[in-house]
Amino acid sequence: MNKFPLLNFPKSLILVGFSLVLLQFSIGVSLAKPALQNPTSESLSELEEFIGEFAREKNIPGTAVAVASKGELLYFHAYGMANVELSVPVSGNTVFEIGSISKQFVSAACYT
């Protein structure tokens, strides 16, 4: 039995998971400032372009990005398809089945 259970997952699944965590971290670092600031339209455009290109490169069928500060939704954008077979686009009501990967996002949200 392998003492490193993570190595039993397919490499592509590990790569996608690692890429999503790295993406979340890089976005958080790039938008973080010592004092809270509302993002500029230019920075949101850069974010939109980055996420769209990343999703295309990694063949991610669909995702949604939201930026909120002090309980106010500042930005929301949906990318791609929620269901590729039925051509259903991602929307603000799309439910993503992400399982245990949400724990680090919840802990980050609770910390801030």
**pLDDT tens for each residue of 40-82:** 889 888 988 998 899 889 998 998 888 888 788 888 999 999 9
- Average pLDDT in the chain: 78
pLDDT band at 31 (very low <50, low <70, confident <90, very high): low
* pLDDT, position 88: 93
Cα–Cα nearest to 96, from 53, 63, 50, 66: 63
pLDDT cut 90: percent of the chain above it: 17
CB-based contact 16:58 (threshold 8 Å) = yes
CA–CA separation, 62 vs 1, rounded Å? Answer: 36
CA–CA separation, 106 vs 68, rounded Å? Answer: 14
CA–CA separation, 87 vs 83, rounded Å? Answer: 6
Contacts 24+ apart (CB under 8 A), 37-42: 38/69, 38/74, 39/67, 39/74, 39/75
Going by their DSSP bridges, the two strands 72-83 and 62-69 should be labelled as antiparallel
